[in-house]
Structure formats: C-alpha cells, structure tokens
Amino acid sequence: MSFFGVECVRKKERELERKLRANDRDYNLPFRYATNAIKTSKYNPFTFLPLNLFEQFQRIANAYFLFLLALQVIPEISSLSWFTTVVPLVLVLTVTAAKDATDDINRHRSDNHVNNRKVQVLIDRKLRSEKWMDVQVGDIIKLENNQFVTADLLLLSSSEPLNLVYIETAELDGETNLKVRQALTVTGDLGEDIEKLADFNGEVRCEPPNNRLDRFTGTLTYAGQKYPVDNEKILLRGCTLRNTEWCFGLVLFGGPETKLMQNCGKSTFKRTSIDRLMNVLVLCIFGFLAFMCTILAIGNCFWELNEGSQFTVFLPRQDENTAGFSAFLTFWSYVIILNTVVPISLYVSVEIIRLGNSFYIDWDRKMYYARNDTPAEARTTTLNEELGQIKYVFSDKTGTLTQNIMTFNKCSINGKSYGDVFDYTGQRLEITEHTETVDFSSFNPLADPRFMFHDHALVEAVKLENPEVHAFFRLLALCHTVMAEEKREGELFYLAQSPDEGALVTAARNFGFVFRSRTPDSVSIVEMGKQRSYELLAILDFNNVRKRMSVIVRSPEGKLSLYCKGADTIIYERLHQSCSKLMDVTTEHLNEFAGEGLRTLALAYKDLDEEYFNQWKQRHHEVSTALDDREGKLDELYEEIEKDLLLLGATAIEDKLQDGVPQTIEQLSKADIKIWVLTGDKQETAENIGYSCNLLREEMNEVFIVSGNSPEDVRRELRNALTSMKPAEDSVLLPGRTLGKGVKVIPDEEVNGDYGLVVNGHSLAYALERSMELEFLRAACMCKAVICCRVTPLQKAQVVELVKKYKQAVTLAIGDGANDVSMIKAAHIGVGISGQEGMQAVLSSDYSFAQFRFLQRLLLVHGRWSYLRMCKFLRYFFYKNFTFTFVHFWYAFFCGFSAQTVYDEWFITLYNLVYTALPVLGMSLFDQDVNDVWSFQHPQLYVPGQLNLYFSKKAFFKCALHSGYSSMVLFFIPYAAMHDTVRDDGKDVADYQSFALLTQTCLLFAVTIQLGFEMSFWTAVNTFFVLGSLAMYFAVTFTMYSNGTFLMLPSAFPFIGTARNSLNQPNIWLTILLTSILCVLPVVTYRFLFIQLCPTINDKVMFKVRQAKATPPSPPRRTRIRRTSSRRSGYAFSHAQGYGDLVTSGRFLRRPALTRSSGFVHAGRTTTSFSPMGRSAGYSPTGRPQNAKVPDVEVTSLQMYRTITDPAL
C-alpha cells in the first residue's frame, strides 16, 4: 500500500534466491512473490487530486505563484486584486491536471487490457479460465498455439515430439525467427494428463528476478532427483507460442518480476534542453526581480524620509510606521506588481503549443504507412522542440533499418552471373515491380508462389540439365539445418533458424531441388521431379570462427560427397589449385554483389574416398567423446577434410532494407546528425548493412575495427584509431568545459577525412569501463558512423548514457523490439518502430511510426519547425512581458515608489490571457520559415538547432535589453506627450487614468507590430488572431470604461469615461504612432544590417524561396547506381552454433511427414506455401503483377571452365 507515493509497509528484502513449489500456493505465499498483475498507472481516484497537486507545486513556477497569491491576500502590501493571480493559476493547474488524468486513464486501460486476458490455470485438479492478473508463482498453466506466454514459465510438457515447443520472441528481441525450447524428460512424461500434472509437486530453486534474456540458472527437485534448468527450458513472458498445439508450464516469475518487465528499464521524466534552460533563466529572473524590488524599496525609504515626512501633518502614518517598515512593505508590494516578468500564462501557452505540434505529427499523412494502417503517433507532448536539436541517433538494425526479410537475388555458377535482366540490345535493366517474374509453377508444382526471380536464363539452364547448375542447387538443398513440415500433401513449411538459410533452401526448391524431409541420418529431396534420399553421414557445423558449414552425404548411387558453404574468403583458402581461373571470375561477381550490398556465400564440394572417410569417421567418433579440448580437436579434424574443394559458385542474398533507409541516412548526415547502429547481430552482418544503407561508404578514409579480446588490445586499437585520425596529437583528453558534479564536456574535434568505427560486443564491454570510456568516446565521436555489434540491451543503454554524460548534445534512440527498450528510455528522445516486430518498444517510446524513413520528416520538418516556433515564442513572450513590467519600474520613480500600478487592473489581468495570447499562439502553431520541400532540399537548416542558436542565454540577454529600451520609449514618450497637455476643447487630459490608458494602448500596438516582424508565414488564422485581439482590446476597454459597468460595480471599474475622452484626441493617436515607430526602428535596422553583412543559412534559403516565387518542383527520382566494391560483402550466415547437433541427434525433429509422391507428376498446380520462421523469412511477402513479356532467352553453353560428368551430380 502506498500513499502519496510513499511506501507505508516494510520494504521487501532483496531476493537472493527464488524457492517455489508447484501446485502449492500455501507454500509459496510467505515469500510474498509478485502476482502477475502489472501496473504502469500513477494515480487512483483517491490519490489523483492530492498527488497531482503535490507534483505540480514541485515546479518552481507554480510554487512561486501560490506564494504570490498568499501575499495578495495581505491588505497592507497588496496593490492588486487577488483574482489577477488566482484565475491564471487555477487555469494552469486545471489544464495540466486534465492532461495528466487523460494520460493516466490511457495507462489504466492498457493495464486492464493486459491484466484481464484469460489463460487456463490448473486449480483444484481442474483447468480453469483465469485472468492473467490472478495467476500466481507456482501455478501450472496451459498455453495453446498463437497465445502470448502469460508469465516466465518452466516448460513442463508439450504436444510436440520430444517435448519441443516453438516460440517467437519478437516482443523481446525483435527477431521473428522461431526459437526452440525443450522440456525435461521427467516433466515431459506428464503430457497433458491433468491428474499427473495436479500431482506434480516439484520444487524449483533458481536465480532471483533479473533482466538477462539469454541466461537462466536453476534446479528442479522432483521425486528425490535434482535436474538442471537452463534458458532452453524457459518460456519468457512476451513470447508467442507458434506451431505447437499446446504446452504446460510452471510459473516462476510473474508481473513486474518477469524478464520482460525487468528489461523495461527505469522510466525517467524527460525534459527538453529548453526546459532546463528555462529553469535557469527563471531563477535568474527571480534574482533580477528581487534586485529591482530592493532598489524600489530603498527608493521608497529615501522618499519617505525626504518627501513623505511633509505629508504627515495632515496624513499621519498609521501606528507610527517608520520609513524602514514602509520600505519593507513596498518591497513585497513590488514583488506582486512585477511578478509578470514570469507570467503563469507562459506555462499554459507552452503546453498548448506542444500539444498542437504533437497533433501535426499525428495528422501527417506523409508519415502514415498504408500497408499496415499505421499512422505516426506522438506519445508524449513535452518533447517536440527537442526533435529539432538531435545530434546523435542510436538505431537498432533488425526490423529498424532492415525488414528482416531475405531474398535470393543473384548467383554466380561456374563463372556465369545470374539475376540481372537485359533488353534486346544487351543493356542491363533496372528491376522494378513491373518487371516480369519467372513462372516456376509451369514446371514445378512444389514451387513457393511467393518466391520472385526475374532472370529466365537460370531457369533455362536448369531445364537443360546443366550439371554445374544442378550441382549448385543440389548443394543448397542438402547443406543446411532447415526443418521441413508437410501437414498436407504438397504444402511445405520450412522452419529455418536463420532467414538466410530459409531463402537459400527456398531458392533451391523453386529451381527444382525441393527439400522435403529429414531424419537424423538422411535428407530427402525431390530433384527435377524425382524423389531421392541422401544418407546424412556428418554435419560439420557452423561457428563464428569456422564461418562455414559442411555436410557429408552418400547419394542413392553410393557416391560420397562433401558439400560446403561459407564466407568466400574462408572457402577460397581451401580450394583446389585447378579452380584458380574460376575463382578470379567468381571474385569479380562477388565484388559486384558486394557493391550492391548483397550478402554472399561461396559454395564448394569434393568427392570423398570411401576408405579415407571410414578412417576419418572413426577418428571423429574418438574426438567427439574426448574430455580434453574436444572443440579444438574437432576443428583440426574438420580442417583436414575440408580442403582441395572444387568451387561451384556463389549466392547473393539481399537483406532487404526498409524503403528509403539509404536516402534517410544521407539526409540526416547532411544535417550533421551522427548515426550509431547498436545491434545484436554479428559483425559481418552489421557491417554489410552499414554499407548497404550508406552509413559506411567506400570513399571513407578508413573503417576501424575494434575486436580485441582483452582491455589492453582494445585500448591499443582505440589509440591506433585516434592516432590515425589525428596523428599530430597524443591521445590525451582535450580540455573541456565542466558540467555539474565535476563531469567534463568533451568538445567536438575536427578531423581531416571521413572515418567509420566498428566495435564488437566483447570489445565494447572493455571500452565502456571507466578507465577507457573517454578514449572510446573520443574515437567514436570523430567518426562519421559507428556500428556496435553483438551488444546486449544493457550495453545499448550504456552507450547512450556515455554520450549523454560527456557530450552536451541531444540524443535519439530508435528501435522495434523489447531489447531496445532500455536504450529508448535512456535517450533524450525514444522512437519506436510500430507494426513490425511487436509493440514493446512502441509502448516505451515517446514517438512511434512504421518506417525508419519517416525519421527524416520527424526531425527535419516537424522537429525543426517545433524548435523554431518554440524559440520564437519564448523570445517574443519574454520581450512583451519584460516590456510590460519594466514600465512599472520607470513609473515608480514618478509615483513616490508607492507601488501604484501604471495600468488598469483589468488590463493587467487580461494582457496575457486575452489581448496577447492568441496572436503569439497563432505564430507558435502555424509559423514556418520554409515549407517541408525546402527543408528536405536544404537539410543544413537543421544545424542551428543543434547549436542552440535560436534561444540561448545570449538570445535571452538581447531580448531583455530590447525590452528595456522599448519600456523606456513606452513610458517616457507618453509621459512627455501628456505633460501639461489639454484636449482640443481646452479640458485637461493629463490625469492618471488617461495616462494609464495611453500607455497600455501604446504597449499593445508596439508588441503586436513586433509580433508581425517575428512571423515568417502569415495565414488567415494568424491575421484573424492579430486583428481580432486588437479589436477585442478596444471592445473590452470601451465596455469596462462605460457608465453602465461603473454603476454596477463602482469599485471594480473606476475608469469611467476615460476611453471615450482620450481616444478621440489626435495627439493620442500620434503618440501611439510615434512610440510604435521608435520601438521597432532598432529591430528593423539591426535585421537589415545583419542579413546584409552576415546572413544565416535560414536567411539564404528564404532568399532562394523568394526568388523562386513558387514552390519548387519535387526532387528528381533517385536512380539506382551500380557500383563495384573492393570489400567483401558479409557472409550470409545468421544461425547459431550447435544447430547441426540438434539435427543429427533427432531431438529437433517433428512428427513424421505424410506419405507422398514427388509432386512433379500432378497435372494441376498444387497449392504450396512456405512458412518462414515468423515473418522474417517471408522472402517477398507481397505479390507482384506479371505484366510484360520478355523475348525468348537464347540458349547459351554454360560449360565455360569445367564440366562435371558424373551422373550422380
């Protein structure tokens, strides 16, 4: 229980080890484990009002106005009525409370939606449907296919063979590849027998709640035996059960203690840099206010001593008050009068502006993704202007930059490249959605209809039974760890641990080499309509050191062969000398593929001698059972057999980027925004994507790789990088400014040339240590692009925190999975990609949209406009209020420092709420220096925001000086004009009320004209607001100063007749004109000289816009530029080590497939489908029209370098 957020009960002791017993709530209850209910809301109906007011009055401004209200109820010091403060204060508190209540109601709805989901729980020996929130630690629950996992569970049993389950972890790590989990045999025997499950009383001891997604340690004690429990037996909340009819699990952690919720990170209240600057400025203003009040109080003391004593004869002081006490009262009176230097309406206006600019993001159709029906969403309204100041963008890769969809695009077979399309003149054509695709169904009823390929020459080669082409696809159909599932005749589903392998096996399937099924010791494929079964003798599994995998198979004819695929550099080292010429040609193709950003693999094979293989197999068995250095000995054995290979060719897979990613990164780079990619993928994959999306470029002087395995190695590599970039300097830290708590700001350093930095996960762990973090940060900040690979969610947040700590720059983090949540929460701005890999990142983000390309519009258009509008608003708001207030200061010297106001009380009340509110809001909501097209054409317009050029302490000081000058004009010109002046009918006009009216009218005209100079973009709404506010002023003034209002409330409306007596005099209007001209003349002169002598980037672009006199045409469509590359593309492996063991052990296999024919004998087309591991392997998920017909492809001989004559191949 909590009250006002303060825990009233004894805080739970820190948990060191979790102990629980299945089906025994009484045993588990004393441990006080968290239930499965989650709570993200802050208030309830009873705590909302006190808690919300408590939070609001923690803001220094609100507390200040409450203090002023208390002063105003003291008659001795109050010269203003209480309503001048209480009306604005109540308005602010009400608006803010309504906004907070709305946000919290939405949080309550979200919590209730999740907490009220239903799941089957085993209670009292029966399965009952219970709400998620009622599930407790120790309960056994039943999950069914496609259900979300309710809590963190220990898997007990499942419907699949060997107690396997398949789960999708998109909510956790953004990956849609299915993962496999397997229950212990002892619990798997429980099956779905409710009686056995109800009798199960196993005890679990395990680690306490933590945020490690990849690790779990614990033990299960059951029937007197102890069994180890690791991560492979755990189902985490947030996962989705796939391809599994049912499973049972034991709840280990619930609600806030689940790893999903533990990874959500600490929610911090985010404030913009303008907010932080405002806090400093408000404190300075308060200090200046106290200074002015002190001067006026001292003036009152001297006036009382010198002048006031002359009045005591006929106006004696009350209670014999001294001059000193009078000065004390005057000090507090002027605190009340001059409080408008920080009006409470400032905070109301700021909230309205932020809300309006948030709606612009929500309503932007150009950020709407129609395919998923996903609009952009501003999930917070307090950070909009910060979007215009971003310096560092931290991005996830999978699902953020890429679609996590692999497509088989091109290949090189025996020295000939396939995949490009040519016209009748031999010119290479760009492949678009209108390019005709190959119709595989015409000769292959088992083809996947979603597979797209455009080069008919490869199909013709397959039909001509070219041996090299057949051997190429035979290798792809045999050398992999994919599982096939065929629930109905001809409907193939491939379960691939990595989308790369799924794409390759699907390509082989469509070209006539269909992988149908496997057992631990055989692989069945359909080769051009004929069913063939290969004996699987060994899988030489992939790992990060080998960078290749091989299979050894025996064909139906009895021929032994080794098929190998892997990184081309690794394969080339193991090729036979006879392949040198073919290797040169294939290398050219690989360079071309790499230049297009494709992921490549080289394919090779060799025939094996039966006698040699038997000896090798015997040694392999001995090494496999060795206790010492087993992995090292196996690697040596693999090296021995994987040599003298014969090259077949290479594959090129496209890891499809999201639309517009390269262009977006290019635009952001031009805006001087630095992009760091933080990904859990391996180095080669991440580096390859870096080149694909223009993050890394061939033109860079150097790309540094930091992959040291010790602190010394990492430090040396970082220092080498620093020396290369700045050879004239030592790697000592440059002096920088100091922030609070002794933290130094590392300044930006200029380097000659462009550099990139790639850091591996284990190296990053050392680089983030306190002794090395500054060297890492210096090296990284000198580079144009940084890629960190194999990073954990915690490391992502640490990198962001490091930049926030030592660089005075605004950061943005963008991601799509639960593994990005900590990074999103750590950055100043968090952006979630929605509609791709789950919603966990979106729920924790400040802004969300469906595609990475929308980031450039969010920053370069909405962010820049929001920042520009907010800065203009603040500059103008301080100007109009300082000018308003300083007139009181000058008037004090002419009223005996008596704390008399220079304006009518009603004018003081309505000045900020009515007369000047709408014009400044109109400017702050509709103003734009240039439109969105010009913003994209000139991304350099974004740079001033990063440098805080539009609003800073310097800009604030200029604003204060301008206000001081204007206030002097607005006081002394009317004062001099009315001194000893009479009306044209001879009557006196120089009374206090007429002077007050003239001064306030001059003030309103001056600030309105100044607003006109501030606005760059006039709309009908702005014009209406400006003219309407002036009209409102005169309407209200004539009404309040009329006889009728005076008769109703004489004390409230004392200015009877003043308006009609003063405003019909020509000299009054001439005075208004003179003061207006004198106020704006310095502004016009300064701006004219400044634009002529040193124009800003905004001035230059706005001049171009005026020259164009029309909206410029849209930029031309970017044509695809083909480039070659000297670097090798990343090899297309992404599955984990050890998968081959699962395949050969049989633990991974599903139920036997149905009896079937080869599938090629059917006359009609069989409906087929490919079920990738989630969406990630859906290689081309949207169908494309098949329109134009291409000319017949000329049959060419493919026997260019070597002919394979063996019929087995």
User: Consecutive sets of 10 residues in the chain, 1209 residues long: mean pLDDT of each?
Assistant: 38 77 93 88 87 81 80 74 72 82 83 91 92 94 92 93 81 69 90 92 92 84 90 90 91 91 67 82 88 92 78 63 81 85 78 90 92 87 90 86 82 91 78 78 84 88 91 93 77 78 91 87 90 91 80 92 90 90 91 80 92 90 74 86 92 85 91 90 78 85 89 91 77 47 73 89 87 91 89 85 90 85 88 70 85 93 94 93 93 87 86 88 90 91 91 92 95 88 68 88 95 90 93 90 74 74 85 94 91 87 79 52 48 56 56 44 36 35 36 36 40
CA distances from 912 to 94, 397, 581, 905, 1036 (A): 17, 48, 82, 13, 14
pLDDT score of 1195: 37
| pTM listed for this prediction | 0.76
Q: H helices then E strands: how many in the chain? A: 40, 37
CA distance linking residue 243 with residue 144, whole number of Å = 10
At residue 670, φ and ψ (nearest 5 deg) are: -65, -25
Distance in angstroms (rounded) separating the CA atoms of residues 511 and 412: 15
Structure tokens at 407: 């497509």
Q: What is the pLDDT of residue 551?
A: 93
Helix 630-641 and helix 610-624, axial crossing angle in degrees, nearest 10: 170
Closest to 912 measured CA to CA, from 348, 142, 208:
348
pLDDT of residue 858: 95
Burial class of residue 686 (count of CB atoms within 10 Å of its CB; 0-12, 13-18, 19+): buried
Q: How many CB atoms lie within 10 A of CB 563?
A: 24
Structure-token pair, residue 620: 């392999």
CA-wise closest residue to 565 among 574, 578, 576, 577: 574
On the 0-12 / 13-18 / 19+ scale of CB atoms within 10 A, 102 is: exposed
- The token duo for 676 is 């760091």
What does the block give as tokens for 493? 């589903």
Structure tokens at 896: 């005996």
- Looking at residue 1142, what is its pLDDT? 61
Cα four-point dihedral sign 76, 78, 83, 87: negative
- 189 given a catalytic annotation: no
Owner of token pair 């071309």: 592
Report strand pairing: 203-206 vs 218-222. Answer: antiparallel
Contact 680, 173 (CB under 8 A): yes
Q: E strands within 491-559?
A: 491-495, 513-519, 522-527, 530-540, 548-554
| Amino acid type, 834 | S
The pLDDT assigned to 811 comes to 94
Rg (alpha carbons) of the chain, rounded to whole number: 38
Q: Residue 472 carries which DSSP code?
A: H
Q: What is the pLDDT of residue 312?
A: 64
Q: Which residues of 165-176 are buried (b: 16+ CB within 10 A; e: fewer)?
A: bbbbbbbbbbbb
Of 152, 396, 541, 904, which residue is the catalytic one?
396
